[in-house]
Amino acid sequence: MLYKRVISGLLFLPIFYLFVWNLPPIYFTALVVAAAAVGQFEFYRMAQARGSHPHMVLGIVLGALIVMGFYHPLLPVMGGSSFPVAAGMLLIMIARLFSSRPVDGAIEDVAATFLGVFYVAMLFAFQVAIRNCDNGKQWLVFLYFIIWASDIGAYSIGIPFGKRRLYEKVSPKKSIEGFLGALAASSAMALLCRVWFMPRMGIGEAIAIALLLAVVGTIGDLVESLFKRAAGVKDSGDLIPGHGGILDRMDSMLFAAPVLYYYLRMR
């Protein structure tokens, strides 16, 4: 399992790097829209495993509009990104109101649809927001590398040496030792990134940001584990060998990206 995760990471990281560095912003946004749509589909499949019936089509369309709104406000005269969000939420509830399904389960269906939009698509969209910041390409690559290093550090230390459970109720295999490995690997990767393509960032800042992203990334991983455990599934999908689905690969990123974005706004 670790071997597959390392190989997949080594294959996908250069691809992510090339995409982030070379794609024009509009094409990168289109890529994020597609990834978010796949992630929403996976999430809605998990919700269905729990017996809910989210409205996939409307949820994915609303998610795409939110991601595109992070690139450029849609209909600025109508309030920018707030207009498609409000309109989409109303349409989702109206669609459930007039659906052929029984009244029972309506709250769960609507809630699952909304959660797929805001947990998956909106958090995915922060990658677009980071890409549009000053030096956004460097920061987004930094984010990818830190999360990848955290993931590999957690597995490489946690599997052979993990003895104390980190949060057994949600993820029985994650250990405190693995978490410490994630922090160490993230710090080392931050220093490498500083030498490679972010020389203006101080050593203390690089390590502090890496530790923060590793912590919130771990929380994001645990949140997805919570959803998978509730749905009774091992992985959200099987798209990426050794990782599962898009959500399995990007769960840490979903939490880390908004944290990094707002750090950059305050920096």
Angle between helices 203-231 and 176-196 (to 10 degrees): 140
| Domain count across the chain | 1
Cα–Cα distance measured from residue 181 to residue 185, given in angstroms and rounded to the nearest whole number:
6
The per-residue pLDDT for 11 is 64
Give the model confidence (pLDDT) of 38-88 as tens digits: 999 999 999 999 999 999 999 999 999 999 999 987 766 555 567 878 888
CB 132 within 8 A of CB 25: yes
List the Cα angle 172/176/182 in 5-degree steps. 105
pTM: 0.91
Query: Is the separation of the CB atoms in 31 and 226 below 8 Å?
Result: no
User: Which residues have a Cβ under 8 Å from the Cβ of 249 and sit 6 or more positions away?
Assistant: 12, 240, 243
Angle at CA 140, nearest 5°, toward 212 and 72? 115
Note down pLDDT in tens along the chain; length 267 residues. 555 556 666 666 667 777 777 889 999 999 999 999 999 999 999 999 999 999 999 999 999 999 999 998 776 655 556 787 888 899 999 999 999 999 999 999 999 999 999 999 999 999 999 999 999 999 999 999 999 999 889 988 988 888 899 989 998 888 999 999 999 999 999 999 999 888 889 999 999 999 999 999 999 999 999 999 999 988 887 766 556 789 988 999 999 999 999 999 998
Full residue range of the structural domain in which residue 232 is found: 2-266
Structure tokens at 235: 């992985």
